[in-house]
Amino acid sequence: MNQDGLLVLTGSAGALEPGPKSVGYSLAKAAVHSMTKSLADKDSPLGGDVVAILPTTIDTEMNRQWMKDADFSTWTPCEWISDLLSKWCSEPDSRPISGSLVKLVTANGISKTEIVQD
């Protein structure tokens, strides 16, 4: 990867506070979080930046079918995620520092990012 390159991995906000019903899922996503940090290490051969996005529920047609009674205003739209990633790719100065875990938070239909602190 070139120096301006960006690798985005998909973690999960749910893995930050795992529960007994999601042990396998949380384990897998925690591994993604750890891999993000490892690949961003100064000694990593990666060459560019790596960040992980941590969504909660993504607003997809399938999720709407499965969870018909949910509050969709708290779901992150796919288009918003796509626009965010496009900006990070085209404007390297706009992206979080390499190794960041970036929680995607949506409330009342408004989406934003929050950097997760270790």
- Residue 54 dihedral angles phi and psi, to the nearest 5°: -125, 85
Written as six digits, the tokens of 74 are 């708290």
Contact 33, 25 (CB under 8 A): no
Catalytic residue, from 6, 9, 22, 25: name it. Answer: 25
The angle formed by the CA atoms of residues 61, 59 and 91, to the nearest 5 degrees, is 125
Contact 107, 59 (CB under 8 A): no
Tell me, yes or no, if 25 is annotated catalytic: yes
70 vs 33: CA distance, rounded Å: 27
Radius of gyration for the alpha carbons in the chain, expressed in angstroms and rounded: 15
Active site residues: 25
